[in-house]
């Protein structure tokens, strides 16, 4: 069993739809990160969470430490949101483990 | 633009060779992280340096080594290259050694192709 799992693996949505990407992990963590990788390969850090919920524009990230689960929500999705979204966890040894990523396509 | 620079952008070399990848962190950032992204293994954490000292080690092969210099730039050395080392290598930086609580800023990556 992989330490970090994401679902779905691929997601196609229509512009304007509400999108949810899920991440579950099996190890103890000190923080969870959501990353966005653009089609050109560049990576941007979206959120870093150790508890609760964070919001940035149309993006919302939540984490439930007891259930070892996090979700990334995109409201009013847009074609420019098309990217791979990667969940990563860091443990107390500062070792980072990445999920396999969720490929999102938002159609106009 | 994250403020993190990596050179070269692309590198093509042959098996058995040695290459050096370079990373300059954002101004003021003391921590540098190296990651490898291959098609079959996804993103993997290799190593972290803070202010010149190694702070955390991930899945870094013995054939690979890294260092961070007094001006805070970092180099990743890959030797005895194999076909399987072909990947995107990312560098990231953050403000402190507490990378678990700091946002990381990623460079554009170096694409290494081993023929």
Q: What is the pLDDT of residue B86?
A: 96
Written as six digits, the tokens of A71 are 């979700």
Mutate to test the interface with B, among A6, A43, A84 (most CBs of B within 10 A): A43
Tell whether the model's pLDDT for residue B89 goes beyond 60.
yes
What are B47-62's pLDDT values in tens digits? 999 999 998 888 899 9
Q: Where is average pLDDT lowest: A46-50, A92-96, A100-104?
A: A92-96
Gap between the Cα atoms of B33 and A99, Å rounded? 18
Question: Is A27 part of the contact surface with chain B (CB cutoff 8 Å)?
Answer: no
Asked if the model's pLDDT at residue B39 lies above 90, the reply is no
Q: What's the rounded Cα separation, in Å, for the pair B31 and B11?
A: 25
Query: Which pairing describes strands A10-14 and A102-107: parallel, antiparallel, or unpaired?
Result: parallel
Binned at pLDDT 50, 70 and 90, residue A17 comes out as very high
B27 touches chain A (CB under 8 A): no
A93 vs B contacts (CB less than 8 Å): 56
Confidence of residue A106 (pLDDT cuts 50, 70, 90): very high
CA neighbor of A20 nearest in space, from A89, A73, A98: A73
Residues A100, A37: contact at Cβ < 8 Å? no
Mean pLDDT calculated for residue range B91-110: 80
d(CA B85, CA B69): 24
**Residue B7 pLDDT class (50, 70, 90 cuts):** very high
CA B111/CA B114 separation, integer angstroms: 10
How far are the Cα atoms of A25, B41, B95 from residue B59, in angstroms, in the given order?
A: 19, 11, 23
Nearest to B105 by CA among B39, B20, B18, B6: B6
Nearest CA in chain A to B39: A100
**Spatial contact of B74 and B7, defined as CB atoms under 8 Å apart:** no
> Which of A35, A48, A96 lies closest to B58 in CB terms?
A96
| Interface size between A and B, measured as CB pairs under 8 A | 54
pLDDT at A35: 95
Contact A29, A79 (CB under 8 A): no
Rounded Cα distance between A96 and B59, Å, is 10
**Nearest-neighbour CA in chain A from B14: distance (Å):** 23
Asked if A106 has any chain B CB less than 8 Å from its own CB, the reply is no
Beta strand B5-7 with B105-106 is unpaired
Whether A48 contacts chain B with CB within 8 A: yes
Q: Tens digit of pLDDT for each residue in A82-94?
A: 999 999 998 766 6
**Cβ(A33)–Cβ(A50) below 8 Å:** no
Q: Does B79 touch chain A (CB under 8 A)?
A: no
Per-residue model confidence (pLDDT) at position B68: 97
Chain A residue at shortest CA distance from B56: A94
User: Cα(B6)–Cα(B24) distance, rounded to whole angstroms?
Assistant: 6
Question: For position A93, what pLDDT does the model report?
Answer: 60
């Amino acid at each position: 069993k992989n330490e970090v799992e994401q679902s779905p693996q691929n997601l196609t949505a229509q512009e304007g739809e509400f999108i949810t990407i899920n991440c579950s992990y099996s190890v103890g963590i000190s923080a969870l990160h959501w990353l966005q990788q653009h089609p050109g390969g560049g990576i941007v850090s979206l959120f870093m969470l150790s508890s609760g919920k964070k919001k940035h524009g149309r993006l919302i990230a939540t984490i439930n430490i007891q259930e070892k689960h996090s979700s990334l929500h995109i409201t009013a999705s847009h074609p420019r949101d098309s990217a791979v979204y990667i969940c990563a966890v860091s443990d107390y040894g500062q070792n980072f483990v990445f999920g396999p990523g969720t490929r999102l396509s938002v159609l106009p | 633009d994250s403020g993190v620079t990596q050179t070269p952008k692309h590198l093509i070399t042959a098996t058995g060779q040695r290459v050096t990848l370079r990373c300059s962190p954002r101004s003021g950032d003391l921590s540098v992280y190296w990651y490898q992204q291959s098609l079959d293994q996804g993103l993997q954490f290799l190593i972290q340096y803070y202010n010149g000292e190694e702070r955390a080690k991930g899945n870094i092969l013995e054939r690979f080594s890294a260092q961070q210099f007094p001006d805070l730039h970092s180099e990743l050395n890959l030797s005895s290259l194999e076909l399987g080392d072909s990947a995107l290598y990312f560098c990231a930086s953050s403000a402190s050694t507490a990378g678990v609580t700091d946002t990381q800023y990623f460079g554009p990556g170096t694409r290494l192709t081993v023929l």
